[in-house]
Amino acid sequence: MPIKHIKIKKGMKAGEIVESMGDMGFGARKISEAAVILEKMWKDKDCKVFLGVAGAMVPGGMKEIILDLLDRAEVFVTTGANLTHDLIEAIGESHFIGNEKENDERLNKEGIDRIYNVFMKNVVYEKLEDFFEKNWKAFQGCRNIREFLWKIGELSGKGILWKCYEKKIPIFCPAIADSGIGLMVWGRLAGGKKINIDAYDDMKEIIDIAWTAKKRGVIYIGGGTPKNFIQQSLQFSKGADYGIQITTDHADGGGSSGAPLKEGVSWGKMKKNASFVDVNCDATIALPLILGYLKDKV
C-alpha cells in the first residue's frame, strides 16, 4: 500500500487530520494508530479503562484533556505533581505562560517557580498550607490514599480531584509523598498532628479491579510510577487487551517510562494478542490530536 501525502484543507477537523496521518509514515502514523485503538477501547463496553498520567500535565495546559478522558476511564493513577497543580488551580491560583530562557536566579528572587516554559508563583504553597490546616480534621476518617484524595476533591469543589470524587472513580497516587501535597501532610505531622493512612490498601483495590474486569485497556501518558502501578496490577491478575503509550523516553535506558508495551507481554502485563501502540511524542502535542479524533468518532 503506497504512502499517501497528507493534504490539509480549510475547515478540516482534528479527526480528519489524524485519520489522514494513518496513511503517512513515522510518528504521524503512530498517532493515528493510537487514536484508532483508543476508539476501540472506548466502544468496548466490556473494557475497564485504566488511565496513568505521569509528569506535570496540569501546568502544561492538559487539565481539560484529562477531565475528558475521565468521562470514560474507570481507574486513574497519577503523580502527586499533577494532583498538587490541580488543587492549586482549584483553590484559585494559576499557572502562567513563561519562557525557558528567563534568568532562573532572578525568578527565584521574585518568588516564581519555572516548569520549562510555564511559571507559577511560589505563594501557592501558602494557599496549600491554609487549605490543609483548615481541613485537617476532615481527613481523619480516610483509610487509604484513594479515600484521602476523594476527600480533597470533595473539599476543592472543582478540577480532576473533584471529578474523581464526584464520579467515584478510584484514584491512586502511590508516590503521594513526592509532591506538594505530600509536603503539606508532612508539615502537619511534623507539627504533632495525626493521620492514619494505609498506602498498601490501594494496591489490593487496584488488583481486585483488574482481576474482576472482563477486559482491560491501558492509557499511559508518560510512564514512571503511574504506569508501573497499573502494570503490576495486571501482572498479578490478567494482562491488558488494549494499550496506548505516549512518551518521550526510550527503551535503551531500561526504565519503565521508555519500555515499549510489547515488553509487557513477557511479564504478562499485556496479552500477546492485544491491540497496542507506542507513540514517541510530547503528550501535549499527541494527546489533543488523539482526543480530537475520538470526539469526532464516539
Q: Return the C-alpha cell found at 99.
A: 519562557
Q: Which of 63, 163, 227, 269 is catalytic?
A: 269
Q: What distance in Å separates the CA atoms of residue 75 and residue 230, rounded to the nearest whole number? A: 9
Is 269 tagged catalytic? yes
Can you list the pairs that 65-71 forms with residues at least 24 positions away whose Cβ atoms lie under 8 Å?
Answer: 65/287, 65/288, 65/291, 66/160, 67/159, 67/160, 67/163, 68/291, 68/295, 69/219, 69/291, 70/160, 70/163, 70/164, 70/167, 70/169
Annotated catalytic sites, by residue? 269
